[in-house]
Chains A and B, each alone.
Chain A
Amino acid sequence: KQEVTQIPAALSVPEGENLVLNCSFTDSAIYNLQWFRQDPGKGLTSLLLIQSSQREQTSGRLNASLDKSSGRSTLYIAASQPGDSATYLCAVGTNAGKSTFGDGTTLTVKP
């Protein structure tokens, strides 16, 4: 059974800092990995999707990497802004289309 862990559960940084969020998974036989953002009281917004054959994906100030062999993914946020404050979740997908989620890291960026 796939288990996904995100540490730390919460993170607070000053504006402008670069930061890394971590996601680890127990079964390396994954099909893809997706990072989401969730604002309070809202649904999940997709940030980046990495296929198992890829090493990283980039979108603006976001860069996600994937290391299947070690069961890890990181989400790098450059030059953080207060608007980046949210909960970030990673989801590991199988080829049957099933995704297992971590419990997320709640990020606070202080002005």
Chain B
Amino acid sequence: EAGVAQSPRYKIIEKRQSVAFWCNPISGHATLYWYQQILGQGPKLLIQFQNNGVVDDSQLPKDRFSAERLKGVDSTLKIQPAKLEDSAVYLCASRLGGANVLTFGAGSRLTVL
């Protein structure tokens, strides 16, 4: 079984620029998550999708962050404009259902200068 794919693995941008991250979950996994992990902390949920609908985006800074999951498969997370404090690893995860194992991708490391 292929894992959760993410790209790019690394991105360096200047503040106020924009960036987009892509995630392809495990085939058949209806639920997809984007987490933000700042160095030394645990992952913090940004947004949860069920198929192509948003379940929870209460912690997503909507003035600068957006995410979509068209056709209920791949997802993109966009940041525009980026701030210094957005420097973090953006992790995508998926699961078949609420009782099942949460599986993560390798993450996308963002550095904002």
Residues in chain A within 8 A of chain B (CB atoms): 4, 31-32, 34, 36, 41-46, 49, 51, 89, 91, 93-104
B40 adjacent to A103 (CB under 8 Å): yes
- Which residues of chain B come closer than 8 Å to A46, judged between CB atoms? 101-104
In the complex where A34-B102, A44-B91, A97-B95 touch, is A104 in contact with B42 (Cβ < 8 A)?
yes
Additional 17 contacts, C-beta under 8 A, given A42-B107, A43-B105, A96-B55: A42-B106, A45-B104, A51-B99, A89-B43, A95-B98, A96-B98, A97-B48, A97-B55, A97-B97, A97-B98, A99-B102, A100-B45, A101-B42, A101-B43, A103-B40, A103-B41, A104-B42
CA distance A4 to B44 in the complex (A): 12
Q: How many A-B residue pairs have CB under 8 A?
A: 64
B14 interface contact, C-beta 8 A: no
- Which residues of chain A come closer than 8 Å to B102, judged between CB atoms? 34, 46, 91, 93, 99
- Which residues of chain A come closer than 8 Å to B41, judged between CB atoms? 103
A59 CB to closest chain B CB, in angstroms? 12
A81 CB to closest chain B CB, in angstroms? 23
B31 adjacent to A97 (CB under 8 Å): yes
Among B42, B99, B101, B107, point to the contact of A102 (Cβ < 8 A).
B42
**Using a Cβ–Cβ cut-off of 8 Å, how many residues does chain B contribute to the interface with A?**
29
B107 adjacent to A34 (CB under 8 Å): no
- Which residues of chain B come closer than 8 Å to A4, judged between CB atoms? 42
Residue of B nearest to A49 (CB): B101
Among A41, A43, A100, A103, point to the contact of B91 (Cβ < 8 A).
A43
B47 CB to closest chain A CB, in angstroms? 11
| Shortest beta-carbon contacts, A-B, top 7 | A101-B42, A97-B98, A43-B104, A44-B104, A43-B106, A103-B42, A43-B107
A19 CB to closest chain B CB, in angstroms? 20
CA distance A107 to B37 in the complex (A): 19
CA distance A38 to B85 in the complex (A): 22
A44 adjacent to B98 (CB under 8 Å): no
- Which residues of chain A come closer than 8 Å to B100, judged between CB atoms? 49
CA distance A43 to B102 in the complex (A): 12
